Amino acid sequence: MGISYFNTLTRQVEPFTPREPGRVSLYTCGPTVYNYAHIGNFRAYVFEDLLQRHLEFRGFTVTRVMNLTDVDDKTIRGCRAAGVPLAEFTQPFKTAFFNDLDTLRIERAAHFPEATGADHIARMIEMIAALVERGHAYQAEDGSVYFRIRSFPAYGRLAHLNLDELRPSGRVSSDDYEKESVGDFALWKSWNETDGEVAWDSPWGRGRPGWHIECSAMATGILGPQIDIHCGGEDNIFPHHEAEIAQSECVTGLPFVRLWMHCKHLLVDNQKMSKSAGNFYTLRDLLDKGWTGREVRYALLSVKYREPLNFTSDGLAAARSALGRIDAWSRRLDETAAAVGEPLPPDLNVEAFGAALDDDLNISAALGALFELIRESNKRLDAGELTPGQARTLAGWRDAANSILRFEPDAAAIPLEVEDLLARRAAARAARNWAESDRLRDEIAALGWTVKDTKDGQKVSKS
């Protein structure tokens, strides 16, 4: 059975086939590094991670690009307020972003181009020049260059917007009188005093690129004129991705993207996340509350990407419990698999997991299949009916599934001091010296570790 994904352009679930068999080019809109990314941003990045890992699970080689927007209105405003050069202002947020990706176990993209990279700026200017030459763009009185949306009839198709019905919005800035049409968007913004030191030379004078052309230039510059999949949050559909299509196709003359995928937004306690509502969280905020990266990953991953995700502390608590269940099963599996035995099929339904993901990344159904498998194999483990060989096969399957989920526990090295106390406690228990056993348990607890006696011996975990 093949893979199918929902295409925003056609609004249908379609069979997925890349241009080149076995290889997928994937462009994902990355962060604007003017601040720490929040969990809403990370929902998108975790969704894209699921997509990439699913494709790899199915044998595709994925080349992913995730851009960093390090020049735009917000980054400029930020560096001006801080009184430092742009690059100095954005650097800490770039570093934090990569740390956060690691914490959430998001697979690194092959390329993380930065908009201010000299090659990319050069390509943006090249593309804008081509657009001007072909009549798709024009320079306005203020020196800025705009894309002429009337020159690209397909503009609005991705968002399914009828441009004639657009409602005038208060968000249209006051300088729009300089544009031919209110919908025309900036390709190159001419310098003004609020830009400070931030400017590049161009055929249209000093200025800086518009946001949309940054992505078109980095995407086509690295992945070529045609891309298999392009992702982002649903809010990127219009105008950002619409603009990317217009710019790229008017330059290359080729269809830009085969498949558009967008994830829905995240709500916190059923409300739109906002700083004013006090429900705005960065990953750091959650770690400070004692949640771990993999718990946040589970909470962000466990809801289908095309449904809004309601992010709550109950949800995080549920993630913690569910992960504990998976951990316990996983340990039992490894212990049973350790005994001698030829690998054997476990006679359990291990296909449902992948099949659910093949159906437009139905992660809820996939996790349902995983937990059913856990329950069935637990029953057999209880009954002593799962052979070591079967356990080994199942453990291999688990590892394959986990290459997508990445739910394994954090490796917590047990200090030698604790190891020593555990050994002494084991001896005391063998001698049925319960008083000594309890005393040692308290001592271990004082070091920050919790010991539990299972029928397979002592288990310690960080408390």
Partner RNA sequence: GGCGGGAUAGCCAAGUGGUAAGGCCGGGCUCUGCAAAAGCCCCAUGCGUCGGUUCGAUUCCGACUCCCGCCUCCA
* Interface of this chain with RNA, residues 190 to 229, rule: CB under 7 A: 210-212
Which positions from 11 to 40 touch RNA by CB under 7 A, shown as an x/- string? x-----------------x-xx-------x
Q: Does 256 bind RNA (CB under 7 A)?
A: no
Using a 10 angstrom Cβ sphere, with 0-12 exposed, 13-18 middle and 19 or more buried, the burial of residue 198 is buried
Q: Does 151 bind RNA (CB under 7 A)?
A: no
Among 23, 134, 157, 375, binds RNA (CB under 7 A): 375
- CA angle 393–399–403, rounded 5-degree value: 150
Span interacting with RNA, options 121-129, 244-252, 402-410, 453-461, rule CB under 7 A: 453-461
Which residue, 317 or 400, has its beta carbon nearer to RNA? Answer: 317
Among 80, 240, 284, 424, binds RNA (CB under 7 A): 240
- Within residues 308-367, the interface with RNA by CB under 7 A covers 308-310, 312, 314-315, 317-318, 321-322, 324-325, 328-329, 332, 356, 359, 362, 364-365, 367
Q: What is the dihedral of CA 266, 269, 270, 275, to 10 degrees?
A: -70
Q: Which amino acid is at 135?
A: G
Among 6, 138, 200, 371, binds RNA (CB under 7 A): 371
Instruction: Report the helix count and the strand count for the chain, using DSSP H and E.
Output: 14, 15
Q: Does 263 bind RNA (CB under 7 A)?
A: yes
Structure tokens that stand for 138 in this block: 């024009």
Q: Does 276 bind RNA (CB under 7 A)?
A: no
Among 22, 81, 162, 446, binds RNA (CB under 7 A): 162
d(CA 185, CA 168): 15
Which residue, 29 or 62, has its beta carbon nearer to RNA? Answer: 29
| CA-closest candidate to residue 69, choices 214, 259, 177 | 214
> Least distance (Å) from RNA to the CB of residue 197?
19
- Within residues 48-77, the interface with RNA by CB under 7 A covers 72-74
Backbone angles phi, psi at 195, to 5 degrees: -80, -15
Which residue, 50 or 186, has its beta carbon nearer to RNA? Answer: 186
Q: Does 109 bind RNA (CB under 7 A)?
A: no
d(CA 410, CA 204): 53
Residue 290 makes CB contacts below 8 A (sequence gap 6+) with none
Q: Does 161 bind RNA (CB under 7 A)?
A: yes
Span interacting with RNA, options 80-88, 196-204, 233-241, 416-424, rule CB under 7 A: 233-241
Residue 71 host element (H or E):
none
- Within residues 420-449, the interface with RNA by CB under 7 A covers 429, 434, 437-438
- Residue 138 pairs in a beta bridge with 146
- Residue 260 pairs in a beta bridge with 230
Backbone torsion region of residue 449, taken as left when φ is above 0, otherwise alpha when ψ lies between -120 and 50, otherwise beta: beta
Which residue, 167 or 340, has its beta carbon nearer to RNA? Answer: 167
Residues in binding contact with RNA, number by CB under 7 A: 94
Report whether 259 contacts 230 (CB < 8 A). Answer: yes
Residue 146 makes CB contacts below 8 A (sequence gap 6+) with 137, 138, 139, 140, 179, 180, 184, 185, 186, 187
Among 15, 22, 165, 446, binds RNA (CB under 7 A): 165
Tell me the three state secondary structure of residue 149.
helix
Tell me the three state secondary structure of residue 332.
helix
Q: Does 368 bind RNA (CB under 7 A)?
A: yes
Residue 60: half-sphere exposure toward Cβ, Cα within 13 Å: 24
For the chain, how big is the Rg over CA atoms in Å?
A: 27
Which residue, 184 or 228, has its beta carbon nearer to RNA? Answer: 184
- Within residues 395-424, the interface with RNA by CB under 7 A covers none
> Least distance (Å) from RNA to the CB of residue 83?
22
> Least distance (Å) from RNA to the CB of residue 113?
16
Which residue, 20 or 180, has its beta carbon nearer to RNA? Answer: 180
Among 157, 206, 379, 462, binds RNA (CB under 7 A): 379
Span interacting with RNA, options 98-106, 115-123, 217-225, 258-266, rule CB under 7 A: 258-266
- Residue 190 pairs in a beta bridge with 207
Among 3, 24, 44, 127, binds RNA (CB under 7 A): 44
Identify the residue whose tokens are 């498998």: 373
| CA-closest candidate to residue 151, choices 131, 168, 128 | 131
Among 12, 17, 192, 454, binds RNA (CB under 7 A): 454
